[in-house]
């Protein structure tokens, strides 16, 4: 009879663990590869669809313009023309958002690195969000705008990222709610906090909201709008915002409690 010492059992178990671990690692690598291929396929598909949609939409719009510019103008055509124009604008918006998301996900080129004053950018945002904030009878307060904190990057892209986060804060808060925006410097970082007291996000959903085409509603309850309570469009805003912020060397995180509200924190390397 062969006797096995406790040490040997321990060693055999360790070897077994190491082999299991290695196998799991290999499986993860293979799954990751599969996901990368799927992601690429999805983006290629989106680009192809967008390309196919753009041309007919432009043609329809041009045809409508020609009809409306012909003389004499048919007064009865004015109303259908306006609604056609509105519909086309909406389609153009959808196409440009999807194109932007697809571009953000595969464009690895570094962003343009001009200096951007955060206070100026947020002040512009303040003016632009005023319309939907007042329509919803909400209140928005800003702090830290008197200090000039600069970051490096593309002001238009950064503006898009902040706009979406503030728009979300408004959309997912009730009428009359308060939203706070705090700008500050923390060591080498410029920090912007967007704080709402809205519906909040379940813990299990936090990891999902930055993914593409994600919205936390039953699709049958989806209603699109720019600022109405719980309205949303494509579920792309945070996905695009995160990509933009990361391309600027920054990060975005969220702390949230259902029914209590959410705080989105954006950190960007401050320009020296």
Ligand X SMILES: Nc1ncnc2c1ncn2[C@@H]1O[C@H](COP(=O)(O)OP(=O)(O)OP(=O)(O)O)[C@@H](O)[C@H]1O
- Binder among 81, 189, 214, 227 for ligand X (CB under 6 A): 214
Measuring CA to CA, how many Å separate 87 from each of 95, 139, 232?
12, 31, 17
Contact 264, 194 (CB under 8 A): yes
Near ligand X by CB under 6 A, which window of 56-64, 72-80, 107-115, 232-240? 232-240
Bridge partner list, 89:
none
Residue among 190 and 199 whose Cβ is closer to ligand X: 199
Near ligand X by CB under 6 A, which window of 72-80, 123-131, 184-192, 231-239? 231-239
Give the footprint of ligand X on residues 178-197 (CB under 6 A).
196
Task: Give the closest residue to 241 by CA, choosing from 118, 121, 100, 145.
Answer: 100
Residue keyed to tokens 């919205």: 215
Residue among 164 and 248 whose Cβ is closer to ligand X: 164
Regarding 104 and contact with ligand X (CB under 6 A), the answer is no
The C-alpha atoms of residue 54 and residue 119 are separated, in whole angstroms, by: 37
Task: Give the closest residue to 180 by CA, choosing from 168, 190, 195.
Answer: 195
Residue among 59 and 260 whose Cβ is closer to ligand X: 260
Beta-carbon count within 10 A of 116 CB: 22
Which of Mg ion, ligand X, none does residue 169 bind to, with CB < 5 to 8 Å depending on kind? Answer: ligand X
Burial code (b: 16+ CB inside 10 Å, e: under 16) for 184-198 equals eeeeebbbbbbbbbb
Residues in the interface with Mg ion (CB under 5 A) total 3
Near ligand X by CB under 6 A, which window of 32-40, 108-116, 142-150, 207-215? 207-215
Question: Shortest distance, CB of residue 77 to ligand X, whole angstroms?
Answer: 32
Residue among 200 and 237 whose Cβ is closer to Mg ion: 237
Question: Shortest distance, CB of residue 162 to ligand X, whole angstroms?
Answer: 12
- Binder among 198, 237, 250, 261 for Mg ion (CB under 5 A): 237
Query: Residues with Cβ < 8 Å from 247, sequence gap 6 or more?
Result: 104, 110, 111, 153, 157
Question: Shortest distance, CB of residue 194 to ligand X, whole angstroms?
Answer: 8
Instruction: Describe the chain by its helix, strand, coil percentages, rounded to 5.
Output: 55, 15, 30
Near ligand X by CB under 6 A, which window of 10-18, 34-42, 53-61, 227-235? 227-235
Task: Give the closest residue to 182 by CA, choosing from 190, 168, 193, 197.
Answer: 193
Residues of the shown chain interacting with Mg ion in the complex, contacts defined by CB under 5 A? 164, 168, 237
Residues of the shown chain interacting with ligand X in the complex, contacts defined by CB under 6 A? 164, 168-169, 172, 196, 198-201, 209, 214-216, 232-239, 262
């Amino acid at each position: 009879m062969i006797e096995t010492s406790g040490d040997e059992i321990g060693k055999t178990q360790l070897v077994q663990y190491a082999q299991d671990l290695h196998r799991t690692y290999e499986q993860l690598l293979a799954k990751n590869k599969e996901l990368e291929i799927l992601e690429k396929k999805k983006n290629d598909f989106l680009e192809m669809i967008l390309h196919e949609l753009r041309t007919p939409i432009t043609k329809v719009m041009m045809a409508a313009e020609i009809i409306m510019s012909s003389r004499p103008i048919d007064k009865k055509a004015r109303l259908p023309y306006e609604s056609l124009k509105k519909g086309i604008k909406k389609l153009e918006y959808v196409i440009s958002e999807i194109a932007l998301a697809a571009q953000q996900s595969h464009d690895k080129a570094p962003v343009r690195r001009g200096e951007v004053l955060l206070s100026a950018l947020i002040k512009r945002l303040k003016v632009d969000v005023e319309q939907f904030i007042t329509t919803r009878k909400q209140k928005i307060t800003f702090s830290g705008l008197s200090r000039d904190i600069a970051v490096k990057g593309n002001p238009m892209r950064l503006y898009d990222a902040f706009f979406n986060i503030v728009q979300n804060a408004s959309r997912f808060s009730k009428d009359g709610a308060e939203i706070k925006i705090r700008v500050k410097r923390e060591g080498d970082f410029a920090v912007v906090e967007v704080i709402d007291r809205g519906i909040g996000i379940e813990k299990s959903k936090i990891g999902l909201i930055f993914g593409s085409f994600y919205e936390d509603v039953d699709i049958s309850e989806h209603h699109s709008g720019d600022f109405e309570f719980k309205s949303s469009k494509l579920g792309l805003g945070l996905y695009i915002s995160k990509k933009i912020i990361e391309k600027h060397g920054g990060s975005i995180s969220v702390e949230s409690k259902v029914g209590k509200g959410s705080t989105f924190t954006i950190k960007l390397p401050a320009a020296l």
